[in-house]
């Protein structure tokens, strides 16, 4: 089974993906993780990624799609969880073509719906708790940065919700529930 987890920064996509990896043997394809891994791999693709990142440029769709294709060509396991990809309609079309080329399909796109104000409160509150406990905090886990990231999400990625709805692949879960409740909702969607 191949799935996409959609939702704004802080919605819990990574947390839920990890659970699916543990419970279903799926492979999480997080673009951030893949870029970091590629950068240090020494492969041709890795060298390209390192050059782009060292210049401070954004990695191109071509590179990200190349990394995804490398993963699709590898062991399948219990299917793939696309986390942080696709981010744009062009990437969604490219993913569809890639899956087709590897005789695979996308089974479902799960939107983890959240209320922005509650999400900001939750993330900022967690960051404050972590700081108070002397734990590391992401530099961008503050209200201003989070609102900028949310705006970017709505501009670039939100159109995917309509895209996958039109294809009959979209399912919605409440992303603001407790972790176990969200996991149960996702489990119900996956059957």
Active site amino acids? 13, 87, 126, 138, 149
How many Å apart are CA 98 and CA 89, to the nearest integer?
14
Q: Measured between alpha carbons, how far is residue 156 from residues 43, 58, 98 in Å?
A: 30, 14, 21
Whether the CA torsion 156, 157, 158, 160 is positive or negative: it is positive
Nearest to 114 by CA among 156, 142, 146: 146
Instruction: Record the tokens describing residue 165, joined without a space.
Output: 């709805």
Pair 3, 190: CB distance under 8 Å: yes
Query: b/e for 112-140, b at 16 or more Cβ within 10 A?
Result: bebeeeebbebbbeebeeeeeeeeeeeee
């Amino acid at each position: 089974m191949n799935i996409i987890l959609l939702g704004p920064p802080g919605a819990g996509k990574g947390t839920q993906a990890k659970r699916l990896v543990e419970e279903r043997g799926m492979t999480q394809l997080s673009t951030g993780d893949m870029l970091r891994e590629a950068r240090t791999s020494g492969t041709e693709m890795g060298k390209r990624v390192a050059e782009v990142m060292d210049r401070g440029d954004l990695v191109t769709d071509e590179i990200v799609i190349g990394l995804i294709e490398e993963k699709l060509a590898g062991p399948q396991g219990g299917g793939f969880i696309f986390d942080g990809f696709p981010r744009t309609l062009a990437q969604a079309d490219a993913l569809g073509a890639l899956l087709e080329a590897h005789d695979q399909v996308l089974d479902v796109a799960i939107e983890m719906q959240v209320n922005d104000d509650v999400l900001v409160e939750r993330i900022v509150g967690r960051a404050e708790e972590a700081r108070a406990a002397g734990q590391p905090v992401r530099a961008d886990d503050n209200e201003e940065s989070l609102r900028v990231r949310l705006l970017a999400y709505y501009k670039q990625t939100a159109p995917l919700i309509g895209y996958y709805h039109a294809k009959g692949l979209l399912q919605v879960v409440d992303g603001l529930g407790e972790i176990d409740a969200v996991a149960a909702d996702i489990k119900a969607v996956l059957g």
